[in-house]
Each structure stands twice: as structure tokens, then as C-alpha cells.
Amino acid sequence: MGLRFEIVAEDPATGARAGLLHTPHGTVETPVFMPVGTAGTVKGMTQAQLEELGVQILLANTYHLYLRPGHEIIRELGGLHRFMGWPHPILTDSGGFQVMSLKSLGRVTEDGVWFKSHLDGSSHFLSPERAVEVQLALGADIIMMLDECVEYPSSHEALHRAVKLTGRWAARAKEKLSALSSQPSASQPALFGIVQGGIDKDLRRQSAEGLLELDFEGYALGGLSVGEPKAEMYDVTEYTVRLLPRQRPRYLMGVGTPEDLVECVARGIDMFDCVLPTRNARNGCVFTSQGKVIIKNTKYARDESPLDPACECPVCARYSRSYIRHLLVAGEMLGAILTTQHNLHFYIDRMRKIRQSLMFGAFAEFHSRVRAEP
Amino acid sequence: MGLRFEIVAEDPATGARAGLLHTPHGTVETPVFMPVGTAGTVKGMTQAQLEELGVQILLANTYHLYLRPGHEIIRELGGLHRFMGWPHPILTDSGGFQVMSLKSLGRVTEDGVWFKSHLDGSSHFLSPERAVEVQLALGADIIMMLDECVEYPSSHEALHRAVKLTGRWAARAKEKLSALSSQPSASQPALFGIVQGGIDKDLRRQSAEGLLELDFEGYALGGLSVGEPKAEMYDVTEYTVRLLPRQRPRYLMGVGTPEDLVECVARGIDMFDCVLPTRNARNGCVFTSQGKVIIKNTKYARDESPLDPACECPVCARYSRSYIRHLLVAGEMLGAILTTQHNLHFYIDRMRKIRQSLMFGAFAEFHSRVRAEP
């Protein structure tokens, strides 16, 4: 087994914990935020800049890499770590979320999912087995099972069907990985199961119980942050986490805002990924200690202060709001580069502070301070 | 006077020399290549990356900054160095070249140039005095006089008229700078004159003689590399340089290829600027020790080697041709970022090697080695 998870601190009052996730490409300190490197690159960032920011693990999208440049090319070139020049841990998703959300969906069958490429319209088929195969070719440290993602809101019937199908796909993914990993030359990534069930606690319980029987190396919560009320998301996260084994890492997929990170760590989550810091950055929305700032706003045209006066990132040390606004208005690449660097720093720094507060037994204090923020 | 030029080595066989250009924002080692930061940013590069590459001086375009964000805003914010977060030397052009080449030209009169903004079509007027005023607001270390740029080929009459008009504008620019600089609070940039005359040596001589009477702090060669045969460009450069005082820096505007840098240093040029390394990079054309490489070419899809196996830049140390090709094909920002970083390294490194060869009395050897390259 390539993955080992070690809990190094726990908050007695909440479910929050700090851990070490040992992977074949290094150790990740949890709780951790994973920036999204869709096509094998975090948009606008060099790998050296990610290292400087303290990024410990990246998420890459199997769907995008499968279509372009193709997982076989990446396998030939020695896998994604080598291809990207990123010798640190990588997690790949299964491709299912993109397939089911990019409107490229043909149909979901018992066997898998038919979809059309957003690049050229060509038809492709993704099954639980195929998702494992493609991810093995990419060579990530942590891979995700193919699950059925349903939108919010969905009928109980649709949710129930997705939970059951996801359960059967989980077993098939597990079996495929065992079969492929028994080959002597095979790499051995950790496979995570994905709990579905929307905001229906009974379905979440059924989903979790089914996965637990298969004994995954980690468990993800899927189908959240898809439009449900925030309170529901927190509540379902808390409920679901309690069903999961203490000694396995827990990953809340596609979440979230800076506030969500703290709230969901408090509910026992160890891993997060989200496009919010990077996508918002490109749209000129930056996270600061005083809340979000829409930097293209005319009022910043003559503003000499940094994006966030309380921030210690390289962007805030060197550049003004006026300059960054100018770059974004002029459509200059550097605008998106600087806002991305800043936003990622904000997320990574928040995680670092959460973890430190856990290590020092001061999480409750940190939690209430964040809650009081604008 | 803010500028001091010191010659530290000369090649006895050619006109090549190595110097130190002392400016209010630091010393530049010449010969030097100035990357183009059109809108106050070298497209795709952070200022920290430029520093790491060893960039010593940037060129910024007055035309672009005047239109957006506006020179008055930049003045208010403490000038371009502070606005950009670039505490090192900056040279600004006069805006004339853009005005006359962006097809935005209304008309050239004795007084100056009417032009339309490429952003919103609004009408603007640029005179020799106005070009000085705007550049003073930007606060560069070296500013350029407004000259009349004519296309290649042009009639003798058009060239002659441009030389005469440029001569009269030179005097007006000089006078305006003296008047403004006599104000106690004024910054004092160095003003360079621009020799025009196309490939007509007699006109070049007339143009240079007129400027010499005004005693500029540096002399630029304009109107070259605009379509004339390469041999003519070298020949006119050599001829014109011989008319200029030894103790003043000489700047060949808008030049050129890696080969041009060596050939024109050999003809006595100290300073260069060109969009070639940065623009080519964005189009996927990289400079290597083996010549140009069009990296989007299918044959690089599985190529694990760096852009240039002989290169020591951070890009070649970390990334493969296959990865960079993938990024460019996928339209990912990182593709342009990495090719730009590499191409700028190639130019800066070439200049460093030229200078070293001059310092060690080995320029002739270096020159013939470069001539033998692919």
C-alpha cells in the first residue's frame, strides 16, 4: 500500500484533526487544500511558484488529460509527475464529474458513461474499470473511483439510484485496481471511495456503509457544494464524516470558500479541492482578510495599497491594487498570474494556520476568530 | 545629469565595446538587451522572474501607458518604477513609432502628430514637447525624443523630409526637457536623440550631424529593421555608428534576431530592444542553440527533451518539449509563460556571453563561433 495516514493532533471539542499523509511522492500535511491543475497545470502558475507558495499536493483532471494530450502519451513519458515537472504528490479525479457536468453526457448505463469530447465531439466511454486504467496511466498517488454525480436538487429516486450505482461501481473499481496492481511492474496508487446521497442522510449512510465494506484507503464526500444551502452542506458533511473510520483520510470534493475550509475541518475533513481561488483570480476577484475584493472596480484605479494589507504573499509585497487592476483591464497575463498567486497564498496560508492551531491546541480560538471575520 | 556612460572594454578589431550605464535606478552592463514591457509588463513574466533572468533594464511603451492607465495616474502613483514594482532602470520610447505604425495615424504636421486611440478611437495629439512631458510623468531613466518614422521603402523625398522634421523636433524636445528640468522638483531623465535617414547614408550623416550639435546623452538609430535587406541594415548601422561620439551610448531600436545582436555589437551598438523573443514565444517559436524550434509541431508531442538541451534556464531544467507543446496546444497560460522565460533567457544569456567575450578580449572568437551556428 502506497498511502499511510497518521493523525498527529485532534481537537477534542470538534472532529478536527491534523495529520500526515505519506504518499510515494512525499508527505502531505493535512488538513490540506489541493489547487486544481485541470490540464496538468494550475492556470497561470509555474511549478516553482506553486512550490514557493507551499503547495503540497495538486489535483489534476482525468477527463481533460485523457482527451488531451491523452493518458497513453503521459504514461509513455513516465507519468504525470514527470510530464508536469511536479515531483510532489498528485491526486486525479475519475473524470466522472466533468463528464456529467460539462453537458457532454450521452447516457449513464449500468456499465459506465458515454460522453462526447468538448474538444472535437468524438464519442468516448468511461466505466469504473476504465477510470482506474486511465488514472493508473497518469500515475497519480491518489486516484478516485468513478461515481455517479447527480445535480441538486434531485428526486429521492434519482439520488437513491446514484447511491446504488456508485456502490456497484466502487466494487468494480476496487477489483480492477487489484487485478492491475498484481502485475509486477504496476504502480500502486491509493484508491478513494466516494460517498454520494445528496443531502439525504439515510442515503449518505447507505452509501458510506457500502463503501466501508470494500475498505478504501480514503473516503471522499461527493455531490456537495452543488447548490444546496450552506447549512445543509455543513450538516451532511458532519453527519457523513461520523460514519467514516477515524484512521482514513477524508476528502470533501469541490469545496469551497475560505470559510468552508474552517467549517469543514471542524467537521473532520482532511482534504479539499476547489477552482474558486484560481477561477475567481482570473475574473479579478481576490480573497483578503477583509473579504472579497473585485479588483477591476474603478475605485481601485489609484489605490496604492496591496491587494490585502494584512497579506505576506510575494504579490502583496511588491504590487499595488492600481497596477493589478490596470493589468486585468488591459487583458495582460500578469494580472491573472498575480491574482492567482495571491488567492492560492490565501488558501494555503489559511490551511497552514488551521493546522498550526490544531497542533497548538488552539483550533477553537482560531475557529471563532474566523467566524467573526467580515 | 542622471546618466553616466563608462566604457570598460573595447574590441580593437571591430567597434564593439562593453560599458556601464549608470542610471538613477542602478547600473546597466552594456551591451544590453531590453525586454519590451509594452503596457508596463513583459507579457507573461513577473518582475521577480525578470530579475532571476538577469534583466537589467526594461523598455515600456509610452503610447500604451499614455492611453491606459494614463500617464497622470502613473505620475500620481509615484512613477512607472513604483507602479510596476520594478526598482531597476527603465527606458520609455516616445510613442511615435506606435502612433505611426498602428495605422492609427491621422496626420503628421510640423507641430506634431494627430492620432486615434486603438482602444476607443478618441483623437490625441503628440508633439515633441508632449512626448517629453508624458515621459517625465512616467519617470523613466532614459526617454526618447519624438521622431518621424517612415516605412521601408520610402522615396528620397519622404526620407529627407523625415530627417529634417526629426531634426527640428529634436531641438524642441531638448528645449522642453531643459525648461521642465529647471523646475526644482523635477526628475531629470536622460534624453536620447534618434538618427533617421533609412538606408541613405548621406541622409543618415545629415541626421546625425544635426543631433550632435544638440549634444544628446545618447543616440539611437531609428528606422532600421523595418524591411530593408539585412546587409543594408548592418551596413547603415556601421556607417552611422562611426558618426557618433565614442563616449555616448548607442541604441539600435527594434533589433533584432540573436544573430543581429552579435553583428550589431560588432558595429558598435550598446543597447537593443525587440519584441521578437517575447512575441515569438507566445506563438510557440523558441530560440535554441540549434536554431528556431516551432514547438507546436506534432513531432514534439512525445519529445522528452528540454526546449534546448544546451540551455541552463529554469524552463529547460524542469520541463519537456512534450509538456510545453501540450500547454500551447491547450491554450494554457503556462505555455506562453515558459516559452517567454526561455526565449528571454536565450537573449539575456547571449548578451552576457557577448559582454564576457569583450571583457576577456575574446570577442572576435565569439563572433566567428556565432556565425558558424545553425
DSSP state of B164: H
Of A39, A73, A334, the CB nearest to B301: A73
Cβ contact A85–B41 (<8 Å)? no
Residues of B in contact with A333 (CB under 8 A): 41, 43-44, 333, 336-337
Residues of B in contact with A297 (CB under 8 A): none
pLDDT(A185) > 60? no
Lowest mean pLDDT among A18-22, A318-322, B149-153: B149-153
* pTM attached to this predicted model: 0.97
* % of residues, chain B, pLDDT over 90: 91
The pLDDT confidence band at residue B188, using thresholds 50, 70 and 90, is: confident
First and final C-alpha spacing in chain A:
44
Q: Are B58 and B88 in contact (CB under 8 A)?
A: yes
Q: Are B306 and B321 in contact (CB under 8 A)?
A: yes
pLDDT(B166) > 60? yes
pLDDT in tens, A40-83: 999 999 999 999 999 999 999 999 999 999 999 999 999 999 99
DSSP state of B146: -
pLDDT in tens, B21-38: 999 999 999 999 999 999
pLDDT of amino acid A181: 82
Smallest CA-to-CA distance from B30 within B216, B269, B257 is with: B269
> Is A93 assigned a catalytic role?
yes
The crossing angle, in degrees rounded to 10, of helices A333-359 and A258-265 is 20
Residues of A in contact with B44 (CB under 8 A): 333-334, 337
The pLDDT confidence band at residue A102, using thresholds 50, 70 and 90, is: confident
pLDDT of amino acid B35: 98
Task: Read off the pLDDT of each residue in A96-107 and give the average, rounded to a whole number.
Answer: 77
Domain ranges of chain B: 32-274, 276-374
pLDDT of amino acid B186: 53
Task: Read off the pLDDT of each residue in B305-324 and give the average, rounded to a whole number.
Answer: 98
Cα–Cα distance for residue pair B350/B370, rounded to 1 Å: 10
Q: How many CB atoms lie within 10 A of CB A290?
A: 11
What would the grid cell of residue B17 be? 565595446
Architecture of domain B32-274: Alpha-Beta Barrel (3.20)
The crossing angle, in degrees rounded to 10, of helices A333-359 and A321-329 is 130
Architecture of domain A31-274: Alpha-Beta Barrel (3.20)
A155-162 LR contacts (CB < 8 Å, sep 24+): A156/A200, A156/A203, A159/A196, A159/A197, A159/A198, A159/A200, A159/A203, A160/A203, A162/A196, A162/A197, A162/A223
Q: How many CB atoms lie within 10 A of CB B329?
A: 17
What does residue A367 show for φ and ψ, rounded to 5 degrees?
-60, -45
What would the grid cell of residue B354 be? 557577448
pLDDT of amino acid B24: 95
Q: How far is CA A23 from CA A7, A180, A272, A273, B262, in A?
A: 15, 19, 17, 18, 50
Exposure letters B31-56 (e unless 16+ CB within 10 A, then b): bbbbbbbbbbbbbbbbbebbeebebb
pLDDT in tens, A134-181: 999 999 999 999 999 888 999 999 999 999 999 999 999 999 999 998
Residues of B in contact with A50 (CB under 8 A): none
Q: Are A121 and A174 in contact (CB under 8 A)?
A: no
pLDDT of amino acid B101: 81
Nearest CA in chain B to A324: B84
Q: Which residues contact A107 (CB under 8 A, 6 or more apart)?
A: A113, A114
pLDDT of amino acid A100: 82
> What's the gap in Å between the CA of A136 and the closest CA on chain B?
19
Beta strands in chain A (DSSP E): 4-10, 17-23, 26-30, 32-34, 58-60, 90-92, 105-108, 113-116, 123-126, 142-144, 190-195, 218-221, 250-252, 271-273, 285-288, 291-294
Of B48, B77, B302, the CB nearest to A320: B77
The pLDDT confidence band at residue B185, using thresholds 50, 70 and 90, is: low
Cα–Cα distance for residue pair B251/B271, rounded to 1 Å: 4
Of B41, B68, B320, the CB nearest to A77: B320
- State the DSSP string of A114-153: EEE-TTT--EEEE-HHHHHHHHHHHT-SEEE-------SS
Average pLDDT, chain B: 95
Task: Read off the pLDDT of each residue in B97-116 and give the average, rounded to a whole number.
Answer: 84
Cβ contact A336–B333 (<8 Å)? yes
Q: Which of B38, B81, B326, B329 has the highest number of chain A CBs within 10 A, making it the mutation to test binding with A?
A: B326
First and final C-alpha spacing in chain B:
44
Nearest CA in chain B to A47: B318
Cβ contact B304–A43 (<8 Å)? no
pLDDT in tens, B80-94: 999 999 999 999 999
Cβ contact B318–A83 (<8 Å)? no
pLDDT of amino acid A245: 98
Residues of A in contact with B327 (CB under 8 A): 39-41
Average pLDDT, chain A: 95
pLDDT of amino acid B104: 60
Task: Read off the pLDDT of each residue in B108-137 and give the average, rounded to a whole number.
Answer: 94
What does residue A363 show for φ and ψ, rounded to 5 degrees?
-65, -40
Cα–Cα distance for residue pair B131/A91, rounded to 1 Å: 54
pLDDT(A32) > 60? yes
> What's the gap in Å between the CA of B169 and the closest CA on chain A?
31
pLDDT(A182) > 70? yes
Of B47, B301, B337, the CB nearest to A69: B301
The pLDDT confidence band at residue B187, using thresholds 50, 70 and 90, is: low
Of B47, B322, B337, the CB nearest to A318: B47
Cβ contact A40–B326 (<8 Å)? yes
> What's the gap in Å between the CA of B51 and the closest CA on chain A?
13
Nearest CA in chain B to A119: B330
> What's the gap in Å between the CA of A329 and the closest CA on chain B?
9
Smallest CA-to-CA distance from A17 within A4, A1, A5 is with: A5
The pLDDT confidence band at residue A184, using thresholds 50, 70 and 90, is: low
Task: Read off the pLDDT of each residue in A20-27 and give the average, rounded to a whole number.
Answer: 97
Lowest mean pLDDT among A250-264, B25-39, B175-189: B175-189
Residues of B in contact with A302 (CB under 8 A): 73, 76-77
Q: How far is CA B165 from CA B128, B130, B152, B198, in A?
A: 11, 16, 18, 14
pLDDT of amino acid B224: 95
Give the residue numbers of B annotated as catalytic, written as ranges: 93, 273
Cβ contact A329–B69 (<8 Å)? yes
pLDDT of amino acid A281: 98
> What's the gap in Å between the CA of B120 and the closest CA on chain A?
13
Nearest CA in chain B to A78: B304
> What's the gap in Å between the CA of B96 and the closest CA on chain A?
21
Q: Which of A58, A332, A341 has the highest number of chain B CBs within 10 A, making it the mutation to test binding with B?
A: A332
Q: Which residues contact B18 (CB under 8 A, 6 or more apart)?
A: B7, B8, B9, B10, B29, B30, B31, B355, B358, B359
Give me the count of residues in chain A.
374
Q: Are A370 and A262 in contact (CB under 8 A)?
A: yes
Lowest mean pLDDT among A92-106, B26-40, B55-69: A92-106
Smallest CA-to-CA distance from A285 within A347, A345, A336 is with: A336
Of B43, B78, B322, the CB nearest to A332: B43
Cα–Cα distance for residue pair A66/B56, rounded to 1 Å: 43
pLDDT of amino acid B103: 62
Q: Are A48 and A107 in contact (CB under 8 A)?
A: no
